[in-house]
Amino acid sequence: MNKHKFTYEKSGVNIAAADKFVKIISKISKKNKKNKSFENIGGFGSISNIPKNIKNPKIVASTDGVGTKIEIANILSKYDTIGIDLVAMCVNDLIVQGAKPLLFLDYISINKINLSKLKSILKGIIKGCNISGCELVGGETAEMPGTYESNKFDIAGFSVGIVDQKKILHKKIKKNNLILAIPSSGIHSNGYSLVRHIINKKKINIKKNRFLNKELLRPTKIYVKEILSLIKYNLINGCANITGGGLPDNLKRVMPEGLTAEINLDKIKTKKIFKWLKKNKINDNEMLKTFNCGVGFCLIIKSKNLNKIKRFFTKNYEPYIIGKIISGKSKIKLNEKINWS
């Protein structure tokens, strides 16, 4: 008879399963390593080298999650793309500063360790790291019974990038610069609480709805490769990642005093998923501040660089003009209305 009535495992935490997952991460990570600049997955902390080819390196850091898009993944039992979203939400913020993503760490908190689910999430994280050219150097998986309901989990990411001080994108935005929209892949990872509210109120079964089944877990576009190429050739004066707060709030964050981003909303090329959302009696202002509405990233450029910039993008993500920089006290000015037809 076991005299020990109380154990960590009986409380709902399986250390053996957690250790097994760490070994899985370490094994996959070693296969994906391109160099030996990073060490110690499974250790107390990762050790990373700072690239030697940068004269005056500055560290840029970003952290984020994917919000309630996780709940859609749970409904559809599909977890292999949510990790791409996690990486995208972090690294797309780094490149706004001109930084090259260097390393990435993840934090997964879950009710009960499910190796199949965790491996699927990890698959997406590694794919996101590969797309953005950074390394997964570590993370944490926390089994938290009682904090999350059965089968529930949350994920967060932390990324570090590096930029030469001369390449930092600030104070370069000038009057008469053009504002370009780079298309989004879809909703990305913002506004899902509203999306889920609509689905619940209308009692839509997304498992049976082919359109929503495909659209709602479409991964967030990672813009790293294209933006870093533009920075390398000094082709942009500024940029903005269009996430929570939409186009108006995110463009405001990069605008210098005395200048205004004048946007012609009728120039925005909306996507089918946003037209579907709009039909659910969401007003234009709510759409603009909640969703990217088809604009995943913005560039601010000299007009003479427009054609050169387009060459760095595939047809699906080719940038197009939606406005310009003018003098003004307000940092954003919205003209016309979005065409939802």
pLDDT tens string for the chain (341 positions)? 455 665 545 545 565 555 665 565 566 555 555 545 445 555 667 777 888 888 899 999 999 999 999 999 999 999 999 999 999 999 999 999 999 999 999 999 988 888 889 999 999 999 999 999 999 988 888 888 888 888 889 999 999 999 999 889 877 999 999 999 999 999 999 999 999 999 999 999 999 999 999 999 999 999 999 999 999 999 999 999 999 999 999 999 999 999 999 999 999 999 999 999 999 999 999 999 999 999 999 999 999 999 999 999 999 999 999 999 999 999 999 999 999 98
User: Domain 178-186+221-335, CATH 3.40.50.720 — does that match?
Assistant: no
Strand partners, 170: none
* Exposure b/e, 46-80, CB count within 10 A at least 16 = b: bebeeeeeeeeebebebebbbbbbbbbbbbeeebb
Amino acid identity for residue 111 in this structure: N
Query: What does the block give as tokens for 54?
Result: 């940068």
The answer to whether residues 288 and 247 touch, using CB atoms and an 8 Å cutoff, is yes
**For residue 14, with 0-12 CB atoms within 10 Å meaning exposed, 13-18 middle and 19 or more buried, which class applies?**
middle
Strand partners, 65: 156
CATH no., domain 15-167? 3.30.1330.10
Residues carrying CATH 3.90.650.10, the chain: 178-186+221-335
SS3 category, 306: helix
Q: What CA–CA distance (Å, rounded) separates 251 from 247? A: 6
pLDDT the model gives residue 217? 97
**For residue 295, with 0-12 CB atoms within 10 Å meaning exposed, 13-18 middle and 19 or more buried, which class applies?**
buried
Query: What does the block give as tokens for 284?
Result: 């234009």
Q: What CA–CA distance (Å, rounded) separates 237 from 232? A: 12
Q: How many CB atoms lie within 10 A of CB 186?
A: 22
pLDDT the model gives residue 8? 47
pTM recorded for the entire structure: 0.89
Long-range (24+ apart) CB contacts under 8 A made by 39-42 are 40/137, 40/138, 41/136, 41/137, 41/138
The answer to whether residues 322 and 264 touch, using CB atoms and an 8 Å cutoff, is yes
pLDDT the model gives residue 112? 87
SS3 category, 146: coil
The answer to whether residues 326 and 259 touch, using CB atoms and an 8 Å cutoff, is yes
Strands 135-143 and 100-110: parallel
The number of angstroms, rounded, from the C-alpha of 189 to the middle of its chain's C-alpha atoms is 7
Match 């999306």 to its residue by tokens.
195
Query: What does the block give as tokens for 316?
Result: 């699906």
234-239-245 Cα angle (round to 5): 175
Amino acid identity for residue 220 in this structure: T
Q: What CA–CA distance (Å, rounded) separates 334 from 323? A: 9
Helix spans in the chain (H): 15-32, 69-76, 82-94, 115-132, 192-201, 210-215, 224-232, 246-252, 272-278, 284-290, 306-310
Residues carrying CATH 3.30.1330.10, the chain: 15-167
- CA-wise closest residue to 97 among 306, 250, 259, 240: 240
Query: What does the block give as tokens for 240?
Result: 């903005």
Amino acid identity for residue 233 in this structure: Y
Helix (H) or strand (E) holding 139: strand 135-143
Q: How many CB atoms lie within 10 A of CB 296?
A: 24
SS3 category, 178: strand
